[in-house]
Amino acid sequence: MGDLRVVSSALATETRDAPASDTKVADTGPLMRELLGATLRSARLRQERTLKDVADRAGVSMTYLSEVERGRKEASSEVIGAVTRALGGDLIDLLTEMTALAVPAIAPQAPDGDRAIRAVA
C-alpha cells in the first residue's frame, strides 16, 4: 500500500456562493474536490515527489494535476484512479484518507469536548 496517509486534518473551508435565489445554503464544510485535492497533494509532498513526476506517471498534464490538487477541477474517476496509482495507493486508501480529513472539518464539537459525527438524512 502506498503512503496516502493524511498528516494534517486541517483543511480551510471557504464560504460557498449562495444559489441564484435569495435562499442561502449553510456552509457544510469542504467540497469533495477540495478533500480529494488536499489528500492527493499531502501524499505527493510526503513522498517528496514533484507534480511533474506524478502527472507523468498518471498520464495527465502537470497543470491539470495542480488544479485537481487545489480543488479547482472535478477529476474523472479515471484520472483519480490514475493519480492514486501513481502515488502507490488504491481507491480505498484514498477514500479512507479523505474521510479522515473530512470528519474533523464537519463534526460539531460536543459539550464534553469530543467530536460528534452528524448523520446526513
- Quick check: is 72 in a domain? yes
Contacts of 39 (CB under 8 A, 6+ apart): 4, 6, 94, 97, 98, 101
Mean pLDDT throughout 53-59?
A: 98
Output the pTM of the full model. Answer: 0.67
- Quick check: is 119 in a domain? no
Question: In the chain, how many domains are there?
Answer: 1
Q: Report the CATH number at residue 61.
A: 1.10.260.40
**Residue-level pLDDT at 113:** 56
pLDDT digits over 7-55, tens only? 333 343 333 444 444 555 556 778 999 999 999 999 999 999 999 999 9
Length of the chain: 121
Range of 41's domain?
A: 32-106
- Own/partner long-range contacts of 6-15 (Cβ < 8 Å, ≥24 apart): 6/38, 6/39, 6/42, 6/43, 6/97, 6/98, 6/100, 6/101, 7/42, 7/46, 8/42, 9/100, 9/101, 9/103, 9/104, 9/105, 10/104, 11/35, 11/38, 11/101, 11/102, 11/105, 13/105
Which three cell numbers, joined as nine digits, stand for 102? Answer: 473530512
pLDDT digits over 62-86, tens only? 999 999 999 999 999 999 999 999 9
**Residue-level pLDDT at 10:** 37
- Quick check: is 100 in a domain? yes
